[in-house]
Amino acid sequence: GAVVSQHPSRVICKSGTSVKIECRSLDFQATTMFWYRQFPKKSLMLMATSNEGSKATYEQGVEKDKFLINHASLTLSTLTVTSAHPEDSSFYICSARVLDREVYGYTFGSGTRLTVV
Amino acid sequence: GQSLEQPSEVTAVEGAIVQINCTYQTSGFYGLSWYQQHDGGAPTFLSYNALDGLEETGRFSSFLSRSDSYGYLLLQELQMKDSASYFCAAHNDYKLSFGAGTTVTVRA
């Protein structure tokens, strides 16, 4: 089946630094990827939709200059948290949309636990 | 906007049956999925309904009624490993919108 690999699984960074999270589709081409943020015991909140070769579409309230998304190839999307602050600490998950027998399904990466100190 | 409502938590004993309800209000709706997530892990796909009716996948079944904007996930023969969070997710406008999640705790 479709597999999405997300790295790193955990990262600790200092306030003010930037962190890049990678999401790769291993055995399929992902024209569209999604980035979610999840706080403990809470739901997955969609941050942005990333389309290969074009600008990402951000959800309302998400700062595009803070959360930079790049989808330069059909197998790689990256999320960069710029000038990270402790309030950016969260679980970030990517997802790719996959067309399977005329139905769109979604496969998820394993998530990245970001801690900003 | 999109809105999905599901209970926050459910507790049951091993071997029991649990039903998690989900009501939704969303534009461009074309299907309802269910995902399981263990602490610290990624969501894993359980079931998908595009049409009204029941879909059965082993111990888990999912139901959808489009006219009632309602669906449910049925967990049968509960096992300890089923303790997790369960999310309903609406497929709309070619993306997923998630409910707040239901924490299922299975007791011996």
Which one has a higher pLDDT value, A106 or A16?
Answer: A16
Mean residue pLDDT of chain B comes to 94
A50, with CB counted inside 10 A (0-12, 13-18, 19+), is: buried
Which pLDDT does position A104 carry in this prediction? 72
Q: Does B53 touch chain A (CB under 8 A)?
A: no
Which pLDDT does position A89 carry in this prediction? 97
Q: Does A46 touch chain B (CB under 8 A)?
A: yes
B42, B45, B95 member nearest A110 (Cβ): B42
Which pLDDT does position B1 carry in this prediction? 67
Q: How far is CA A40 from CA A37, A88, B72, in A?
A: 10, 13, 24
Choose the mutation target among B48, B85, B95, B105 for the interface with A, i.e. most A CBs under 10 Å.
B95
DSSP structure class, residue A112: E
Nearest Cα of chain A lies from the Cα of B39 at a distance, in angstroms, of 9
Which pLDDT does position A75 carry in this prediction? 92
Contact predicate B13/B78, CB 8 Å = yes
Query: Is B48 in Cβ contact with A105 (below 8 Å)?
Result: yes
Nearest Cα of chain A lies from the Cα of B94 at a distance, in angstroms, of 8
Rounded mean pLDDT, B37-48: 92
Closest listed residue to residue B35, CA positions, set B25, B47, B26: B47
Coil, strand or helix at B66: coil
Which pLDDT does position B99 carry in this prediction? 95
Which pLDDT does position B106 carry in this prediction? 98
Angle at A99 between CA A7 and CA A21, to 5 degrees: 15
Q: Give the Cα separation of B51 and B106 in Å (integer).
A: 30
Amino acid identity of residue B33, one-letter, is S
pLDDT at A98 over 70: yes
Which pLDDT does position A2 carry in this prediction? 83
A34, A49, A93 member nearest B42 (Cβ): A93
Rounded mean pLDDT, B77-91: 97
Rounded mean pLDDT, B3-25: 97
What count of other Cβ atoms lies within 10 Å of the Cβ of residue B25? 12
Provide the pLDDT confidence category of residue B57 given band limits of 50, 70 and 90.
Answer: confident
- Give the pLDDT confidence of A35-70 residue by residue, as tens digits: 999 998 899 999 999 988 889 999 999 999 999 999
- Counted residue by residue, chain B has a size of 108
Q: Does B95 touch chain A (CB under 8 A)?
A: yes
B42, B43, B91 member nearest A104 (Cβ): B91
Contact predicate A36/A95, CB 8 Å = yes
Q: Does A44 touch chain B (CB under 8 A)?
A: yes
Which pLDDT does position A102 carry in this prediction? 64
Which pLDDT does position A105 carry in this prediction? 81
% of chain A exceeding 90 in pLDDT: 75
Q: Which two tokens stand for residue B93?
A: 């406008």
Total CB pairs under 8 A between chain A and B:
50
